[in-house]
Structure 1
């Protein structure tokens, strides 16, 4: 299948295609299009004249590779796939954080000077701990987001999906449908909503489970509270008080742990108040924005549109993109 080119990201990465001394780390919320971006890069390399034999793609979430869990197993797999290849090897590894100790493996092949390495990860665990300490200065991060409104319309045209002649109606569809690239393939709102619900479920099963949530019901309550109050100023104490009023005796440290898990999984982004003299700032009030608005509409099926927080969320994510595109 022909892939939609996300040019805004590709133009930032192209200059590093042949940089064997720098590991290219592509991060972003699960299902935002990281794998497709890597496949697009591989296609561009072939179009440029690189032999397909020199392009090695390993998806550690797929059948056949899910049993690769240790550094030794990953090292042996890469060695097996590249031992007879001459010249620069372009190594693409999807969901590399599935392997314990992957940092040493990446650094080992990077130091051989004939591997241009690209890796993806769905959460900030990828850029924590060992990777930061062992690969400082030897990797560069490219954070990918779900589709912008511009990309949403362009991708619909690319896949021959209809676009409303009414800009407000099209914007409303974007807000409700969200910007997950795969969801554009589905024709009904119900199917797109089901897809978003399953993305959230997959994030919990594959990313958030790392923090060992003991009370899943309590986590769901915190997650839903944050999502339902996106773009509103709230504090951890607000969350604790609201939940306790509803009979939930959740503790503040637990709420903090769950909020950090949502941030690490890139479901939400936080924005602190800029007015440091404000009493609200002292109380720790922040706004939380959604990585994708479909997370909200997957939980709320009435489709009532409040454009204020929706547009604020869109602008916040857009500004995040602008900052990384500079």
Structure 2
């Protein structure tokens, strides 16, 4: 069965309401998270009622546009395309590859245009850009597939199963990059694809963009972060680790490299949050990956790392649902996640546990949540099929059920 484009309603419906809106539509996301496909779907929607010569689509990663590298060249190209006063729909894919592209977009928006741009870097949503464009922007962020989307993609492409447990295991194994859900890949081939996605993102969106002078240091840092998903990490600890492995680095350089990785959505930080004091702490964040499968770019799936993978999956599900996500601290106890809605009106407390093998495991996961005296939802998310309990306001729930819940 051939591949077909699968619509992601969550993102398409958000953007459709802004078609013909004067704001510049900005779509960001990790490399290969589906931005180009979304742009093509929007283009197809518009082309149903707009002449083809009034739709301009440029993918700056395409060989046909390799010579368009700065705003002057982009202006020249568009000048030959925009030849009358009727509205033009302009799609600029991976715009960050064009130097000073903001100048072109700023000039375009003053014409009769409807503009859509994508990029693999958070900087295209910066305050400076909003100021340059007079505040006339609206931003959308794409993540890789949720588990629900993963099931839908595989079903529509004829490679899914009716067994949700098998689908979950496949999701854990190959991750949420859309490319991996439109046809059947064995585990080895899937890992090769993820490794290529990872390498390209690191090269284009970090090393080249920021003119990294120490690429080997970046590689060592990435390997360390990927191998320590779900662990509390300080800049000093990273510096000491690299030094012990013969790679000296100063804290400022490491902090900058981490910021570059975050800007490219390759990693995401979870700061520490004092549950009782209701305040952020300034030390020892945890780091998670833009898709849990990126871990497999540096090593195969290992039993001793599955806890971090599960945490990563839960973390990204919370991000997809619009929460700000923190690591909870309460006295000497840690709570894996405190998720707070962006308006601050609602919280969720979450522990993630592979399985309940001993009474000590149960106590470690449940007791910190029992000690929180408020009425917000509290979950222990697990892969343990023999555990599904609600005790003292704390709900034990299987990972698949947590990921597929309509409301958390």
Name 1:72's counterpart in structure 2.
72
Instruction: Report the Cα offset of residue 215 of structure 1.
Output: 2.0
Name 1:179's counterpart in structure 2.
176
Instruction: Report the Cα offset of residue 6 of structure 1.
Output: 0.4
Which protein shows a greater Rg?
A: 2
**Structure 1 residues without counterparts, runs of 5 or longer:** none
| Equivalence map 1:216-295=2 (5 Å) | 216-275=215-274, 284-295=283-294
**Aligned partner of residue 118 in structure 2, secondary structure:** strand
**Aligned partner of residue 207 in structure 1, secondary structure:** helix
What are the Cα deviations for residues 48-91 of structure 1, in whole angstroms up to 9, with x where unaligned?
x233332211111111211111212111211212215x632111
What are the Cα deviations for residues 224-247 of structure 1, in whole angstroms up to 9, with x where unaligned?
111111122111112112222333
| Equivalence map 1:176-215=2 (5 Å) | 176-184=173-181, 185-209=183-207, 210-215=209-214
**Aligned partner of residue 64 in structure 1, secondary structure:** helix
In 2, Cα distance between the equivalents of 1:41 and 1:283?
42
**Aligned partner of residue 57 in structure 1, secondary structure:** strand
Instruction: Report the Cα offset of residue 287 of structure 1.
Output: 1.1
Q: How many residues align?
A: 319
Instruction: Report the Cα offset of residue 276 of structure 1.
Output: 8.3
Q: Contact (CA 8 Å) 1:25, 1:118: kept in 2 or not?
A: yes
In 2, Cα distance between the equivalents of 1:297 and 1:63?
30
Name 1:33's counterpart in structure 2.
34
Q: Contact (CA 8 Å) 2:195, 2:296: kept in 1 or not?
A: no
Structure 1-normalised TM-score?
0.91
Q: Contact (CA 8 Å) 1:186, 1:192: kept in 2 or not?
A: no
In 1, Cα distance between the equivalents of 2:282 and 2:273?
13
Q: Contact (CA 8 Å) 1:176, 1:303: kept in 2 or not?
A: no
Instruction: Report the Cα offset of residue 248 of structure 1.
Output: 2.8
Name 2:10's counterpart in structure 1.
8
**Structure 2 residues without counterparts, runs of 5 or longer:** 324-340, 343-408
The structure where strand makes up a greater share of residues is 2
Name 1:315's counterpart in structure 2.
314
| Equivalence map 1:4-153=2 (5 Å) | 4-19=6-21, 21-47=22-48, 49-84=49-84, 87-112=86-111, 114-128=112-126, 130-153=128-151
Name 2:347's counterpart in structure 1.
none
Instruction: Report the Cα offset of residue 304 of structure 1.
Output: 3.0
Q: Contact (CA 8 Å) 2:130, 2:136: kept in 1 or not?
A: no
Q: Which has the higher contact order (CA 8 A, sep 6+)?
A: 1
**1:75–1:186 CA distance, 2 compared to 1 (3 A):** farther
**1:283–1:56 CA distance, 2 compared to 1 (3 A):** closer
In 2, Cα distance between the equivalents of 1:305 and 1:23?
46
What are the Cα deviations for residues 101-156 of structure 1, in whole angstroms up to 9, with x where unaligned?
211111111112x2100000011232337523302411111000111111111101
Q: Which runs of 4+ in 1 moved over 4 A?
A: none
